[in-house]
Amino acid sequence: MTPDATTDTIPRNPGVPLAPDWFERIAVNTPAAERRAASLAGRRSLKKEWQAAWLVNAIRCMDLTTLAGDDTPDRVARLCAKARRPLADHILAGLGLDDVHTGAVCVYPTMVAPAVAALAGSGIPVASVATGFPAGLMPLRLRLAEIRYAVGEGASEIDIVINRALALRGDWAALHDEIAAMREAAGAAHMKAILATGELRTLRNVYKASMVAMQAGADFIKTSTGKEGVNATLPVSLIMARALRDYGARTGFKIGFKPAGGMKTAKDALAWQVLMMEELGRDWLRPSLFRLGASSMLADIERQLEHFVTGRYASSSRHALA
């Protein structure tokens, strides 16, 4: 069975008042989580047309991203062209597909307007990082103003960063209030809460921060900014997926998940999709509930799909970089 990449409307998470009893006594067996994560690669054998289908699905769930200090409208326009047509025509034809595009394009707030213009008519949403990305160390009023600015420029998704200091000292009430204010500032734009898990120190903190973000109204929880020393890992993603499952069991709402940073290969794209399938089920293999924040893996996915279609590996220089 191949993943279903159909996008649909998921009822938005309204959030709930802070409920520490949902997470304060949580215990995480780190060695067991690491063993479970290490076993995922062998749980599904994806070969030939099945592997190709899952790789195409990874493209559909990808947030193609540029977050560089030298970004320009022209660079963003090139990225958007790649988002519209991530695969070469001969690969699409060989796969029997008419069209494939990425799940979103993610940029800085000042690049939202050029991205919206470049993607006009494509149906591809523009996501913007905000709230003092990547550190989040700005006064709250400025972080909220940045969200409103990005939404005003046309962003339909906002990737916020949490205040890690609040999480590290266990000030969950203050963290909940900040994220809830960010959700209110985002308005109709879907909000992804970046936990920066590499800076949270323990898997228990990862679980707790995940639960607080969802209680505060996050539509997605996201592992990393991509700027930390340690970004997305399978053990961290496993704990976040279980927090998603627990929140859904309590509230009935499905929250999305986005691993970001540190993923570079087609093999990585398969591993994180297997994690979603094994832990959360088929629903989390579609863009409305799953995104991959790893633009650099697109070239390797395209290379693997070209091998599937032609039987030959192309030089990586043949595939345009995201």
Q: Is 74 helix (H, G, I), strand (E, B) or coil?
A: helix
Distance in angstroms (rounded) separating the CA atoms of residues 113 and 147? 14
Distance in angstroms (rounded) separating the CA atoms of residues 233 and 196? 12
| Residue of 63, 82, 159, 268 with catalytic role | 159
| Residue of 82, 192, 208, 222 with catalytic role | 222
**Number of neighbours of residue 303 by Cβ within 10 angstroms:** 18
264 is catalytic: no
Alpha helices, DSSP H only, in 187-296? 203-215, 234-251, 266-279
* Alpha carbon 24 to its chain's center: 26
267 is catalytic: no
Q: Which two tokens stand for residue 136?
A: 């989040």
Distance in angstroms (rounded) separating the CA atoms of residues 109 and 112? 5
Closest by CA position to 311, among listed 41, 3, 52: 52
Distance in angstroms (rounded) separating the CA atoms of residues 153 and 149? 6
Distance in angstroms (rounded) separating the CA atoms of residues 131 and 147? 7
Closest by CA position to 246, among listed 11, 19, 5: 19
* Residue in the block written with tokens 């399938």: 277
Confirm if 221 and 243 have CB atoms less than 8 A apart.
yes
Confirm if 58 and 273 have CB atoms less than 8 A apart.
yes
258 is catalytic: yes
| Residue of 82, 208, 254, 258 with catalytic role | 258
Amino acid symbol at 49: E
Q: Which residues are annotated as catalytic?
A: 159, 222, 258
